[in-house]
Amino acid sequence: MNLVCTECGESCNDSSSAWRCRCGAPLDLDFHPIYDFGCFAGREPGIWRYREALPVEDPSAPVTLGEGGTPLIESKILGRRLLLKLEYISPTGSFKDRGASVLISRARELGIERVIEDSSGNAGASIATYCAAAGIACEILVPEGTSPGKTAQIEAAGAKLVRIPGGREATADAARKRADKVFYASHYWNPFFFHGTKTFAFELVEQLGGRPPEAIVFPLGHGSLLYGTYIGFSELKRLGVINTLPALIGAQAAACSPFHHLHRGEVTLDSFTAGDTIAEGIRVTKPARAGQILRAIKETGGLVVAVDEEEIIEALAALTSSGFFVEPTSAVPLAAVKKLDSAWESVAIPLTGGGLKAPEIVARLAKGITGNSNCG
Ligand SMILES: *Cc1c(COP(=O)(O)O)cnc(C)c1O
Ligand SMILES: [Zn+2]
């Protein structure tokens, strides 16, 4: 399959194992499938019900563990009616399984025997698990201090786990150094991943009776779910299934919010420095696809919102005490919702990752707010 550069337009083949363009920019897939969306309706739930829309040569034998097909629940939380899509009910506990299934299916098709990936945890757990299912050897680099629930998943899947001191960017640098020798199964550089996450858009349209919500608020790190969703809705618009794209909104932790600063034209990525946040899944200071993701957000009439740590904790407590046991990162969009235009009637939020990956932290943070301590 053909890959094209997002900046200079040069193209190359995906069997060349190039993970970015010679000019340094990310590559997109030159893949514009034509399908009859209505025909998917009668099939088994899961991302492979959309197989004609997915970029593999032989979709009859994918690497699948039953990803996708997540519930959409309407709930009133913090005074606002929201559509919550329960992505944490996925084989490895996060939406990353949508992307991993497509990416690892393609890697197996290409005859790849070994991959490397860097991750704050969930992408690593997902890639490691799908590699286990595919019989592909796998090495995952994570920042020191990653939640034990995530590192346990990586090791249990039989992957080699490497802890890198010095934070998320140091981990990414270490992976890039190895990526010329080993297939880089990156959830933000490799465009096949985004064609897996685009199924999030397809499911929303099906679950809402053929129409997208008016707005969707994402926890925004590298943008693999936000941008995949953009690709999905753009395909549906090109095919005439929907008329307008929903506003795509990125929610970031104020302590680490490169997109928020870029959106307001304040900094370049080189000059951006970040503080710490409990939202470990979006502790990303140098998003690889910043340019194209900001363009997508603007095209849809979306925006980027930053929230502080107390607001994230308050939102987390509101979610867990409403029955949604999620990790702190997944509470960031709910914290952002109160800063949005209340004219939007249907606002959807992906609950991206489960609380079981770091149950003590979630309980401690949520208890501090709701006061449900056992000591009284
Ligand atoms: C990866 C992840 C995100 C952010 O996804 P990006 O692709 O980096 O924007 C959000 N929440 C959870 C739970 C994640 O694992
Ligand atoms: Zn280029």
**pLDDT tens series, the chain, 376 aa:** 999 999 999 999 888 878 999 999 999 999 999 999 999 999 999 999 999 999 999 999 999 999 999 999 999 999 999 999 999 999 999 999 999 999 999 999 999 999 999 988 899 999 999 999 999 999 999 989 888 888 999 999 999 999 999 888 899 999 999 988 999 999 999 999 999 999 999 999 999 999 999 999 999 999 999 999 999 999 999 999 999 999 999 999 999 999 999 988 877 888 888 889 999 999 999 999 999 999 999 999 999 999 999 999 999 999 999 999 999 999 999 999 988 977 898 999 999 999 998 899 999 999 887 654 444 3
Rounded CA gap, 345 and 253, in Å? 25
Is there a contact between 145 and 213 (Cβ–Cβ < 8 Å)?
no
Mutation choice for ligand 1 from 153, 190, 329, CB with most ligand atoms inside 8 A: 329
For the Cβ of 258 lying below 6 angstroms from any atom of ligand 1, the answer is: no
Residue with tokens 């939406």: 95
d(CA 50, CA 101) in angstroms, rounded, equals 13
Q: What is d(CA 71, CA 213) in angstroms, rounded to the nearest whole number?
A: 15
277 CB less than 6 Å from ligand 1? no
For residue 42, the CA-to-ligand 1 centroid distance in Å is 30
User: How far, in Å, from the CA of 225 to the mean position of ligand 2?
Assistant: 23
Calculate ∠ Cα 375-278-357, nearest 5°.
75
As a whole number of angstroms, the distance between CA 53 and CA 195 comes to: 8
Tell which residue, 9, 183, 224, 192, has the closest CA to residue 102: 192
* 87 close to ligand 1 (CB < 6 Angstrom): no
**How big is the CA angle at 17 (ends 12 and 22), to the nearest 5 degrees?**
50
Separation of CA 120 and ligand 1 centre (Å) = 9
**What 3-state class would DSSP assign to 114?**
strand
Instruction: Please tell me the distance between residue 176's alpha carbon and the centre of ligand 2 in angstroms.
Output: 17
Strands 27-29 and 2-5: antiparallel
Residues 6+ apart with CB under 8 A from 34: 239
